[in-house]
Structure 1
């Protein structure tokens, strides 16, 4: 493993994050505050509790998942797309750096940035709601696994995209709707039986459910199923990235 190469890519991506630190921090904090005002105050006034949990606290895991998915995909996709756009990706391709090392550098940085922002949102939420995290270790584990999984997805999107418009299509048209329909702000058990089964076809539901279990010890699907779903996603995406680098698909165009 060429660790200096991994470190170089990782530090380059993290420096880009710290150069826009104010924007990176202010935006999620303001968004989280607005979500709490709209969902926590307005809807929370009508829905006092969900499965014995105050509605304001119930939406915290969903807000964190929404941010993690958006930030992971955006950071990873832009991180690898810009070298393609600028033509500097050829320097990476001709260097003695394996596909795994390139992926570790970009994906590791994207995942860490998403985790930092998610933890900032968690800290912000304590100003609005009173809650206790039931399984803090599992909460961190789910957070890391989800950030890695969707950073891998974002990495693939960045390799696939041919322009900035394509770079935004999947996050805006696919991922964000899946999060809203995946139980981020409600429990699947609140739905009629037919729609509850339909909701379980949404892969994001398993991520949100597992993450919410780590907070409140309640879940829409068994915790083991959530873990397997994330693990399978990581394995499939890693295999896809390996195939892309071995075949050169969208890399040498």
Structure 2
């Protein structure tokens, strides 16, 4: 049974349909790369999966249960965590206080403050510093650590590399092999298609709110990705 199933989901903003009949599934321990141009519907789909937007049609199932339309806080308690685009840290809190916000789900598991500091050792020395005083890459580490402290089954990462220097991006992606495991699935939105294919097990491409390509990452040719990405 897949951990996540999105079944013919439609999502609207008022009268505007942003997502039309999107379906995908993801097994436990696997990584799905969600790709597509700006405005393709990627973030809208993530918002539906995390409970920030309610689908007008279709179903979303998580860990065997129908979670369609449940609010974000309920889904967080069930084990869905998101690293949002732009990181969205709390500007009045320290690094450690921002991290501890992830524990509000009260889910138990292997992810503790010590475990996060082990993956991101740079944060340990900065833990009492205001989060807004950190570099963009360090703030992204805090955002990932905060999500992990919710001990999720599904980690959703929206544009991890956006606005970061290439060396910082490399450092963050090196942590993925330590983060992913048998009990954690990842949905990753990434503009760098080559990187997305390299770190994922499967790829779904969206164009104008619809799926144009799905398959195993290493089985999909770059020419197929290009055609699906641009609608050629």
**TM-score scaled to structure 1, two decimals?**
0.26
Bigger-Rg structure (1/2): 1
In terms of fraction of residues, the more helix-rich structure is 1
**TM-score scaled to structure 2, two decimals?**
0.28
In terms of fraction of residues, the more strand-rich structure is 2
